[in-house]
Amino acid sequence: MGIAKESVGLTEDLKTNYSLYDGRLGFGNRPALILVDFVRAYFDEQCEMYAGVENELASALRIRDVARRAGIPIVYTNVVYELDGSDGGVFYRKAPVLKNFVKGNPMGEWPEGLRPASGEPIISKQYPSAFFGTQLSTLLTEQDVDTLIITGLTTSGCVRATCVDTMCNGFIPIVVAEACGDRHVDPHEASLFDMNAKYADVVSETSACEYLQKFVEELKS
C-alpha cells in the first residue's frame, strides 16, 4: 500500500544507499485530508508561477470526493500577505514571486473546481508549512485526527514543509504522489523520495482512495 519506489525515478545505487530507511508508518484510524496551496497562480498560463499541474489538481479532487463521502475532516491552505509583504518575513524576501499572493491579487484565489464547501476550514498562511503560525495542529487535535493525507503544491516547497511538520506535530503524514506537483519533475521526484525515506509514507491515489473507502463503507453500515 505505498508508492512503488520506481515511481520516483530511483537508480539502483540510490535504492541501495538509502536501504536503511525502509520503515513504514501505515495509515492510522482517524484521518483528515489537506489540500495545500492549490491556487490560481499555478494554473494561469499568464502567471509567472504557472506550473502545469492540472492533473495533480484532478487527482486531489478525486480524493476529496471520497473524503467527503467518508465524512472525514477536509482542510485547505492558501497564502495571503499584506500589500507590503511585511508579514512574510525572510520567506517573502527570499522569494519575491510571492507578491502574487498579496491581498486582493486574483492569483491567490481558488482555481476552477476547487472551491471549499461550507464547514471545510481554510488555513491562510505566510510560510511554507501549513502548521507554522497557524491553528492547524489544534484543529486536527480537537477532531482526534491521527493521520494527515497530504495533497498540494509544490512538492518541494509547501508540501514538503507541511509533511515534515505533520510528523513533528505527532500526526502520521501520508503524501499522495499523483496529487502533489511541482514546476519540474526532478525536485518533485527528489522530494517524494526524501519524504518517503524519512518522514512520511508516500502512496498512490489508488491506495489513498481505497483507505478512505473503508470509512465510506462504515458510514453505510
Catalytic residue list: 158
Distance CA 73, CA 87 (A): 28
Question: How many of the other CB atoms lie within 10 Å of CB of 91?
Answer: 16
**Residue 176: Cβ-neighbour burial (10 angstroms; 0-12, 13-18, 19+):** buried
For 51-85, letters b (16+ CB in 10 Å) and e give: bebeebbebbeebbebbeebebbbbbbbbbbeeeb
